[in-house]
Structure 1
Amino acid sequence: MMEPTVSGDQLRAVVGTFPSGITVVTVNAETGADIGLTISAFSSLSLEPAMVVFSVDSNSRSLPHLEVGAFVGISVLAEGQAEIASRFARRGIDRFEGVETIRDEHGPMLIDGAAAWFVGAVVNAFEGGDHTILTVEVHACGANEKTRPLLYQRGRVHDWAD
């Protein structure tokens, strides 16, 4: 087998040319505390059953709360919500402070005004290099047709160009 010659920095630069949305993933921990983090590696996975997938740095302090069976909320951030993306990526702060949220009946918070949202249960966790890949069976979802999602490209947050 051929040895890879691509560095992490090179891969980040090239993959970064592909724009993605920015999501905030939330879970209500067993302690009753709300946990939330910014995720850019998110995608649809399956239509039957309805599933999505996202990945989390394996060293993330939030990862232990995203165990199989946990109900998660996934908010696809909208234009104008760049500060929320930044806030949920920071450490050592109350990430929910000052952020308008809606609590789903299954427990996780959703970001109010998001472009789209999903609620579901984590069904699998797989090791994927320095990240953990989580698959989620979607129990409910919706979209705000009046807004556009926030974009992430080349390490920066962008609104859509008109």
Structure 2
Amino acid sequence: MKRLTAALFLSMVLTTTAWAGTAKVTWDDPDSYRDVRAAEENQTRFERRVFDGLEAHFQELAEKLPENHVLEVTVKDLDLAGEVLPINIGGGMNLVRQVRNADFPAIEFDFKHLDDSGNVVLEGNERLRGRDLPGQGRTNIRARSQHELLDYERAMLDRWFRFRFEE
């Protein structure tokens, strides 16, 4: 039985296409972005978390491309889901990023998909605005907790990648 399992596993590995593209993300003039505003966090640290998180997500998407292919992305503008508002918590005013039903994220970027020889497979400029996002349709306002940072933005980028590269 162990030999059969090992043989099946080996045949799956050998017949699977190698997928291991990479992403290169450039942030063009982030000080001019529409909304990357921190709530109760240092602005520089918050921006770094946002940019690192989106770079990691572009990398996850690029890994679905064929081996040695590159997805180059130059972000021109970013508007995170929700808005930063002052709210009264325990008698004091705090800033919290709140997401309402129509508080969609938006992003503008140029992209190039390069093959393993550096030839352009696909390129373009995208202006995405997230719709049909997780939690849409709820009537209550809810604050985004730390573990939810970029959930809406990732969902928007996932849909874009499926449309451009998988369909």
Q: TM-score range by the shorter chain?
A: under 0.3
| Larger of the two Rg values belongs to structure | 2
TM-score (norm 1): 0.21
TM-score (norm 2): 0.21
- Larger RCO: Structure 1 or Structure 2 (Cα < 8 Å, ≥ 6 residues apart)? 1
Is the helix fraction higher in 1 or 2? 2
